[in-house]
Amino acid sequence: MDLQSICFQTIDIVKSVGEYIRQSGLHLQQSQIETKGTNDFVTEIDKGSEARLVSRIQPLIPHAGFITEEETKTTKGKEYNWIIDPIDGTTNFIHGVPPHAISVALMQHNSIILGVVYEIMMNECFYTWQGAPAYCNGKKIHVSQTESVSKSLIGTGFPYNDYSLIDEYGIAMNYFMKHSHGLRRLGSAATDLAYVACGRYDAFFEYSLKAWDIAAGIILIQQAGGSVSDFKGGSNYLFSGELIASNGIVQHEMISILQPILHKK
């Protein structure tokens, strides 16, 4: 399989749908916004974007299945599955603020082998495939070389409808506010992970994540020289909802800080 060719075809599709999102956002009406749950929104544009992505990506690997946020297509493939978030950062999108991004990943069995994150308002496309470097708009990217949490800028995401660890999360945020260069919460996990991959952030953590939020970002970080794990330092991160990502250098330190705080009850 020519992953490079598939990746560049995916990029073309993603950018085209990104333009649809950009133009549609200029005319978004309140009547187009639905509430799926507490602070969990979806718009007609999310659904339209996902339908466009699925219909155009499907011919690239006809036998592949799909894991999609809005469940446009839910057929699982035996070997390959696309994991798609049509707009990661919908709350940002409906308020007209960045970032919001399209996230598309390809999974072979249990391994992510291709990822594209397109941050729409900044027109930044991050992408990679198995065996390749990670890129942003055609230029190679790499994780930072920051050596300690105390010198790190750390990304996170605030819980918006799962408050099961809210008290513990407050403890973690309090620690990083006092012992790092600062915390940032942009509202798009896909973008956060792309920023770790290109060295803007040194680390990121969050819980209650979905596979479509993080799948593309995971391979971006790995191919850019970084590390990802669950809160215990293991490999159960894609579907567990918990993720620590970093430049690799501070990964162990991040785990040692977060694991005792954010342990599952």
Average the pLDDT over 200-225 and give the result: 97
Does position 179 have pLDDT exceeding 90, yes or no? yes
* pLDDT digits 0-9 by tens, 232-252: 999 999 999 899 999 999 999
**Residue 215 CB partners (closer than 8 Å, separation 6+):** 83, 103, 105, 107, 112, 115, 238
Q: Quick one: which of 149, 45, 152, 56 has its CA closest to 92? A: 45
Are domains 3-141 and 149-258 of this chain identical in fold?
no
pTM here is 0.93
Average the pLDDT over 17-21 and give the result: 94
Indicate the domain borders of the chain.
3-141, 149-258
Q: Quick one: which of 22, 46, 21, 25 has its CA closest to 36? A: 46
Any idea which architecture 149-258 has in CATH? 3-Layer(aba) Sandwich (3.40)
* pLDDT digits 0-9 by tens, 125-138: 999 999 999 999 99
Cis peptide upstream of residue 99 (ω within 30 degrees of 0) = yes
- Angstrom CA distances, 139 to 124, 144, 229, stand at 11, 15, 26
Whether CATH 3.20.10.10 fits 3-141: no
Does position 265 have pLDDT exceeding 50, yes or no? no
Active site residues: 69, 85, 87-88, 90, 213
Query: What integer best gives the mean pLDDT of the chain?
Result: 91
Report d(CA 80, CA 64) in Å as an integer.
Answer: 5
Going by pLDDT thresholds of 50, 70 and 90, the confidence category of residue 161 is confident
Does position 175 have pLDDT exceeding 50, yes or no? yes
Q: Which 3 state secondary structure label does DSSP give 174?
A: helix
